[in-house]
Amino acid sequence: MALSQGEVGFLLGKHGGAKVCRYERFICQPDLETVLAFEAIFQRPASEIFVGLYQQVQREVIARAKVLAHKVECGRPNRKTMIRRQALTSITSKSLN
């Protein structure tokens, strides 16, 4: 978008581009408000802007969903359990980007 780090920093509500540089170099992670500001600035989803971090988080969620799915399988089958199984299957079947 041809914006300098300083300009992006200003749009983020930060003072200067130093913080933007730290985000770019993965020295620090932005808070939710900053992530949403990045989305507004670059008009792209956070999962595209922070693709590496998103993939890491996605892998971790899928791993936890598999553990939870195993626990749910051991439970009594009922309507609520079936809905849980479907939700967990949906999460665990997502392909990693």
Q: How confident is the model at residue 87 (pLDDT cuts 50, 70, 90)?
A: very high
Determine the average pLDDT of the residues in 21-30: 89
Largest distance between two CA atoms of the chain:
57
Contact, 6 vs 16, CB < 8 A?
yes
pLDDT tens by residue, 63-84:
999 999 988 888 778 888 889 9
- Domain range summary for the chain, segments of one domain joined by +: 5-44, 53-92
Q: How confident is the model at residue 91 (pLDDT cuts 50, 70, 90)?
A: very high
Determine the average pLDDT of the residues in 43-55: 93
